Amino acid sequence: MDSPAVPVPRDPQEQPILERLLRTRDALLLLKRDKSSYIKSRDVIPLYETVIQEVEQLHAVREGQDPRQPHNRLDYVLDDCFQLISLLFLTVGKNNEAPAVYSLATTVKRLLDHLEEAGFYSSKDLSSITKTLADMRQTLERGRQAYSPALLKLLESRIQQCEWHLESLQKGLSILAPELAPTHETLVSILRSTSAVNTRSKFSPSEVTSLRKQLEKIQGSLKDGQFIGADGAPLQGQDSLKALLERCWRWTEIVLEREGQISEGFQEQYERLVEIRNQLDRLSVTQAWSLRETDLFEFQRKLDRIDEARVNGNFVSPDGQQADLHAQRTLLYLIRRSYAYIYALLISSEPVSEALLPVYNQLQTLRRCLLEVKESGGVSNSRELYPYSMKLNSIDNMRVDGKFYVGSDIPEGQGSINALLAECYDIAWELRASVDEEDERS
């Protein structure tokens, strides 16, 4: 799990902290891997408190030192511990607690780094991250009184870095005239779609050709090589847009030439990244029923190690050769796409313990079905509501004194499930009331 290039701590006072954190990380990994029963809050909290104690000792040891010193093995193990604790908090349904923020903050930082490196991104990318960072800030503020200042300081620093980075990227888009925004979105989409075709198991030249036709249409909208506004004047920010258009032409051309075949020296890295991307893609489809948030840890670490192995931003083959443009862009696309999947899975995690997820998912499905019935015109008689009412009653009967128990435990997420159950009852009542009104009229 650790990179062999990471140095050990130089300060002898850090060594015992590292050894204790290694044992804690092992305990966290064992908890993550145990699928024999659901993870409980009482299993996670003591391990969180142990890590916080070590962080406070580490702060005392490093007091007065230059914070810009390179990270050693202790820092990487500590990061592993916080990542695991964060994902465990999500797994037990404590999504709105401060420790749960850590993994998401780390993933957002990776995404922003890659967006900046890629040099192209859409306003939709940034708007989602803007909302996520605002939500993370709220979670942090709620935890001011409940959590260690050491944790809050760490999270504050992570979020602040992301906010500064986001602001820089937003400035990059602000130079575009509003009339150019749709064209910019289209070009970003074309670049990503071309990369997606390039990494499929079966290459499709016709899809790339179709994307080039979109480029021809955009190219044809230029007048004397300029994007012109309604007033006949050249639009602001078009130099960056024309550069992006040229990049699209070049990339589609390269992809058509290579037909999805990557350089031999980078085949192994390519296959590893394709497998990670495909596994995350499958998880995103079946998330509600199969995702245990702690499973994302292995994906994060695999991606981090591949990403960090680059030399000056370049991928290097086992024999020391730098990647050509096609291999470089292909591998970077796969890493970025995988981080984007992890981000999407994290922000869509529900504040419900995995122990109650089966019930929560059933209610989500029931709610969707009831809404579809309502939107399609309702029911013709109350008998059509019997299957929904029976399912609602069977779930309601699982409660004891208004709570869902698993054994003697009361898992997290009671409020979310009770709210969803009440909403389902309300929709069913509305459907039944509309049938009764129809009967009275007739």
Tell me which residue of 342, 359, 335 sits closest to 413, measured CA to CA: 359
Q: Residue 162 in contact with residue 183, Cβ under 8 Å? A: no
**DSSP conformation letters of 24-80:** HHHHHHHHHH--SS---HHHHHHHHHHHHHHHHHHHHHHTTS-TTSPP-HHHHHHHH
**Using CA atoms, how far apart are residues 233 and 215, in angstroms rounded to an integer?**
22
Q: Residue 103 in contact with residue 64, Cβ under 8 Å? A: no
Q: Which amino acid is at 344?
A: A
**Using CA atoms, how far apart are residues 377 and 434, in angstroms rounded to an integer?**
10
CA dihedral 246, 247, 249, 251 (to 10 degrees): 170
User: From the centroid of its chain, how far is CA 411?
Assistant: 25
Question: What are the Cα distances from residue 391, in Å, to 212, 365, 367?
Answer: 51, 11, 11
- Supply the pLDDT for residue 288: 66
Q: Regarding beta strands 403-404 and 399-400, do their DSSP bridges make them parallel or antiparallel, or are they unpaired?
A: antiparallel
CA atoms within 13 A on the CB side of 391: 18
Domain assignments of the chain as residue spans, ordered by start: 178-258, 357-441
User: From the centroid of its chain, how far is CA 421?
Assistant: 28
Number of neighbours of residue 217 by Cβ within 10 angstroms: 10
- The whole-number mean pLDDT for each consecutive block of 10 residues of the chain, a chain of 442 residues, reads 64 93 97 91 96 93 79 92 97 96 97 93 94 97 92 94 96 93 96 97 96 96 91 92 96 96 95 97 83 93 94 93 96 97 95 94 95 92 92 96 92 95 96 79 60
**pTM of the predicted protein model:** 0.92
Number of helices (H), then strands (E), belonging to the chain: the values are 15, 2
